[in-house]
A = this chain, B = another copy of it.
Amino acid sequence: MDNAELGEEMLQWAKELFPYCRSITGGGTRRTLEYFQNINPEFEFITFKTGETVFDWDIPKEWNINDAYLEHESGKRFAEFGKNNLHVLNYASPIDQVFKLEDLSDNIYTIPEQPGVVPYVTSYYSERWGFCMSHEEKCNLPEGNYRAFIDSTLADGTLNLTHAVLKGASSQEIFFSSNVCHPSMANNELSGPVLLSALMRYVKQQYPEPNFSYRFVLLPETIGSIAYLSRYHQILKSKVYCGFNLSCVGDERAYSQVQSRFGNSLVDKALQAALRGRENVKTYTFLGRGSDETRYCAPGIDLPVCTFSRSKFGEYPEYHTDADNFDVVTAKGLAGSFEVMKNIIDAFEMGEYPKVRVLCEPQLGKRGLYPTVSRRGSTASVEARMDFLSYADGATSIFEISEITDRPLDVIIDEYRILSDAELVESGRSNPA
């Protein structure tokens, strides 16, 4: 499958999942996780019960919803859940009561600055009900009485997430995480899980006996990662070598990185290298955090995790609105994100600390890897190769070689392959532990 086809396939997955009403708990999220389990059967469910304590938090009730709308006394319905599940405040308590229009104001959420879009609003830890609609629609609601109807349940149940570990020669893990709690929005967040699923399949196909182990996790944001960490953080702390939180990876507008807490770990250099040379690269420090990197990098947890986005959450106009749809997320956007992560996986599998096998400068000419006539400018075509050899000392990662030489990771990987094939370079300190 070429990259364009893969982009189309990821897009198709996202489109099929788009209508599900996800939240931090409930059937929509569970069905979403089952969908991804169909793609990669290695995924196992992990369950937390309502009321269970996870670090400083308690697992909330399970939320399920059948229908919701505001019905005008004329019979005309507004904010219909059946048309768009963003219309209901996510995690809303049930209600069936008649209000005057003027008494509904606090329970209708809009974005006055973006009057044409329906906002995505949640209230997980304080029970309330509400509807979301465009500011225009709210302003044009006819006078009169309205039946506020939300047929939802909040009851003891479970919070679900799935994880899978592909075991490699080393127990050290490359870790990927994404979220399954957002209802009908495409970039934030169906792009992340579909990319993660494609990467997991790639590892299995490309590296059936990988050098590193690989861990993939799909979970609701915040409470899901907190729950997962509460159960697994000792294991993660001992095993995660580099981790990537995937969020908003489906558009074509930028390539973004949110660095780990101090921005100084190998994973930061890895993602930087993979983005080097691409168009519109944006690097955010940890101050730009907001997704689960917040939890993975929290004091005391301190996993080497950074977040990869195209247009970062909070930084694009459609964020957390119904405009975050398939005008934003495209096959090309998803394919571009896959390419970035694929390069990183390939880099780790080749051995991220290449080491030249001969002392001093290798003689490339006799291997056909260097021009035999030397004249001014004759080495321009092999500069990347010579640069690579100059830093392939077994202690400098290929991500750092990319940084030092200011060359994109894929260029570095190409030279690594050529010189490995010529038996001039070996995998150095790869696979620690």
Q: Name A's B-contacting residues (CB within 8 A).
A: 55-57, 109, 111, 119-126, 128, 222, 226, 229-230, 233, 261, 285-287, 289-290, 294-295, 297-302, 314, 319-321, 355-356, 358-363, 365-366, 372-376, 379, 386-387, 389-394, 404-406
Tell whether A360 pairs with B56 under 8 Å between CB atoms, given A375-B109, A391-B299: yes
Q: Are B294 and A229 in contact (CB under 8 A)?
A: no
A405 contact set on B, CB distance < 8 A: 287
Q: Are A261 and B298 in contact (CB under 8 A)?
A: no
Question: Which residues of chain B have C-beta atoms less than 8 A from A55's C-beta?
Answer: 358-361
Q: Measured between C-beta atoms, what is the minimum distance from A303 to chain B in Å?
A: 11
**How far apart are the CA atoms of A111 and B359 in the complex, in Å?**
35
Is the Cβ of A300 less than 8 Å from the Cβ of B356?
A: yes
CB distance from A365 to the nearest CB of B (A): 5
Q: Is the CB of A57 within 8 A of B363?
A: yes
> Chain B residue with minimal CB distance to A320?
B376
Bound-state Cα–Cα, A297 to B360, Å: 8
Given contacts A56-B361, A286-B390, A314-B376, 11 further A-B contacts (CB under 8 A): A109-B375, A120-B375, A120-B376, A123-B372, A230-B359, A233-B359, A285-B404, A287-B404, A289-B390, A290-B379, A299-B393
Asked if residues A374 and B56 are in contact (CB atoms below 8 Å), the reply is no
B392 pairs with A299, CB closer than 8 A: yes
Kindly report which residue of chain B lies nearest to residue A314, judged by CB atoms: B376
Query: What is the count of identical protomers in the complex?
Result: 3
Q: Nearest-CB distance from A316 to chain B (Å)?
A: 11
A33 to B89, CA, bound (A): 69
Bound complex: CA of A120 vs CA of B233, how far in Å? 64
Which of B119, B362, B406 is A376 in contact with, Cβ under 8 Å?
B119
- The reply to whether A121 and B373 contact each other, CB–CB distance below 8 Å, is yes
Per the bound structure, the CA–CA distance linking A384 and B294 in Å amounts to 14
A123: contacting residue among B123, B261, B373, B376, CB under 8 A: B373
Residues of B within 8 A of A362 (CB): 56
Would you give the shortest CB distance from A105 to chain B, in whole angstroms? Answer: 14
By secondary structure, the A interface counts as loop
CA distance A337 to B362 in the complex (A): 32
Please, how many angstroms separate the alpha-carbon atoms of A294 and B314 in the complex? 47
Q: Which residues of B contact A394 (CB under 8 A)?
A: 299
A226 proximity list for chain B (CB < 8 A): 360-361
Report how far A55 CA is from B357 CA in the complex, Å: 11
Chain B residue nearest to A319 in the complex (CB): B376
Contact between A124 and B374 (Cβ–Cβ < 8 Å)? Answer: yes
A-B contact pairs, 23 of them (CB 8 A): A55-B358, A55-B360, A56-B362, A119-B376, A124-B374, A125-B363, A125-B365, A222-B361, A226-B361, A230-B359, A287-B387, A287-B406, A289-B390, A290-B379, A294-B390, A295-B361, A297-B390, A298-B360, A299-B355, A299-B356, A299-B391, A301-B359, A321-B376
Given A361-B295, A391-B261, A366 and B300 contact (CB-CB distance below 8 Å):
no
Asked whether A390 lies within 8 Å of B261 as measured between CB atoms, the reply is: yes
Q: How far does the Cβ of A268 sit from chain B's closest Cβ, in whole Å?
A: 15
Assess the B359–A298 pair: CB atoms within 8 A.
yes
Q: Which of B122, B297, B360, B389 contacts A229 (CB 8 A)?
A: B360
Instruction: Report the minimal beta-carbon distance from A409 to chain B, rounded to whole angstroms.
Output: 17
Whether the pair B298, A361 counts as a contact (CB closer than 8 A) is yes
Give the CA-CA distance A297 to B295 in the complex, in Å: 42
Is A373 within 8 A of B128, CB to CB? yes
With contact pairs A355-B299, A390-B299, A393-B300 given, residues A123 and B360 touching in the complex (Cβ less than 8 Å):
no
A286 closest partner in B (C-beta): B390
Question: How far apart sit A136 and B233, CA to CA, in the bound complex (Å)?
Answer: 73
Q: What is the bound-complex CA distance between A394 and B404, given in angstroms? A: 32
